[in-house]
Structure 1
Amino acid sequence: MNYELSAEEQALYDRVCDFADTVVAPAAYEYDTKRRLPLEIIAQMGEMGLFGLPFPEEVGGQGKTYFQLCLAVEALGRVDQSIGVTLEAGVGLGIMPIYRYGTAAQRAEFLPDLLAGRALAGFGLTEAAAGSDAGATRTTAVLDGDEWVINGSKQFITNSGTPITKLVTITAVTGEKTAPDGSVKKELSCIIVPNGTPGFTVEPGYDKVGWNTSDTHPLTLRDVRVPAANLLGERGRGYANFLQSLDEGRIAFAALGTGAAQGCLEEALRYAKERVVFGTNIGANQHIAFKLARMQARVHQARLAWQDAARKMDAGRPFKMEASIAKMVCGEAAMDNARDATQIFGGYGFMNESRVARHYRDSKILEIGEGTTEVQLMIITRELGLAA
């Protein structure tokens, strides 16, 4: 496996890092305090082609790779995880299902604005009793003539309530099916629900510990009627389709964690060289130096993990276990580096104006979102052929 970036990949990473440093970072504290997604920054990301990176040119994309999308997510995550996850979820959970499973009509209607960053989309999977256990989904969709009638609720849905959110794809129980062993299981399907559909309510956003700039809402669906043609993909394949989306999304989520770990290292290293105590900079203290060395090691391990998974995915090779390893390793690296960086900064690291303080608050969700660390351990165990 070649871990060297090509000239094109390096140029993309450098370009997004420059954008992150000059445009995103200066505004991060203000928007974090206001708890508002900066649509002007999202528009600029759209103009840069970031939302269209891994999609073919014939559908309006940039014709690049998933690996390159992850590079962009990592670069943004260095300075603002909320902006990084807006891109990650916007592509992996918003656009990718439409592109991969959508009909020609669905693609024509939704992809142009989504790929250009003029619109966002969400993916409504999680419910109060159904997250990792998607089989516990309670939201239902019943065919009534040529319409689906949907009832239920979703929670923790990213990009679901912005002024430019165009749709949310939801998973719903559309019937029952008999498994090979004779047991009866829920039939899960995916259905596109455009924002503004009567009965579809985007509830007030959450008061979160971190990711304050990222848009996250609970959703309520009460007798929501959408055309039968809004079925996304094959009926009854919703569970399998979302699993594939999650496997892929975990790689980009891992890249986000790597960016956070890198950002913490950069800030802590700068501060350790500048902060003078008892006549010398604190980086000369072996205890601080060793802490920074461990932070560097975590970044290196995390980057290798997500890049390995992404290269395998782009090559069409199996990557399920590698994606789970990357997601787990990178989330832990971000959390550990945020903790160490905050300690190095001391009191300044406890102030929200500090980037490391925001990383400290933001990074915990990297061990929870898109499959908890415990879920990743279960997947890895099963891939090893063990029962868990």
Structure 2
Amino acid sequence: MHERTAQDWDRGVRKIGDARLHTDGRRIDYKTGVTTIAVAAGPCLAAVEAELHARFLTVTERELIADLRRRGDSLRAIGRALGRSASTVKREIDARSVEGVYRPHRAQRAWAASRARPKESMLAQEGRLRGYVAGKLREQWSPEQICQALVMEFPDDEGMRVSPETIYQAIYVQARGGLRREVTVALRTGRTRRKPRRRPEQRTPRFVDEMVMISERPADVEDRAVPGHWEGDLIVGTRNESAIVTLVERSTRYVMLGHLPGGHTAEEVRDVLVVLIQTLPAHLRGSLTWDQGCEMAAHKQFTVATGVPVYFCDPHSPWQRGSNENTNGLLRQYFPKGTDLSAHSPEDLEHVAQKLNGRPRKTLDWKTPAERLRDLLTTT
């Protein structure tokens, strides 16, 4: 048999035609994508034998409770044998005994049945709550907006409460809510089914060429002890049409700017970076750290052309390129946001770079980046 079939059996999932019936009552049709809810008659074998969190008693522990109880052991003695408190044992016996007799397998089935609580959704029932939610969905409110409005409009009515997830399930799962007819106007996305999400390790790689992450960057780059390691980024002009490449050396804070008046595709950025890096002596071509912007899709070609490895920051982690982020803020004094950067010539960019490199920096003991770079060039 197929491995998937065996896994379904282990979980108590039964195949019915093109659909699968899960232990919690969900019936999923894999051809249409429709999910419905069916109330199960009782706990299936998989639910009874399921291995859950360690805080739950297992069937083996329940058998031991029954054996020790028949032998006449005290609650404390049974608890010590199980490695649990005596109060846990007492609650179990009090709740699951029938006419004073504790039967472990009957107790296990009763526990499994009590865990699943199939009930009708709040929005599947006709009433004020359903009418309110449906009305706001017609006005194209989001589920979260509806939930907050309920709290504000009905502060003392606990019956007028619903979570965003309940609204989503009422829309996407037919048996959970009967709001299917509202779906075409209910959500801004207009989707009739949920979009599956993937874990980070399952997502499509950002680039064709595999990235080397910043966690693999040598330690001497991190502590800025060795010069020649650069951080890079783009500052983008109005309508995302023009850009400027910014490079900052980590130990000296020396700035280099690249001209991109017509666009910033991966090939254009690669060509500008190659020219900028090749103006440096070999001992100042250590590495380049960049974010995961699509403009670096040709990073492998850049490395082949220059011999400079590229390390990529983690997503949404601008502090991993702190020097470059700070420099971009300084550059906005000369290249304000929302302006056309193609209006600036390469000479303009060089003039601005010289201004920044000629400013004394506190982090450099009030020396300038140009002085620090000059010292590196004259002493090596």
TM normalised by structure 2 equals: 0.20
Structure richer in helix, relative to its length: 1
Higher percent of residues as strand: 1
Please say which structure displays the higher CA radius of gyration: 2
Query: When the two structures are superposed, what TM-score results if normalisation uses the length of structure 1?
Result: 0.19
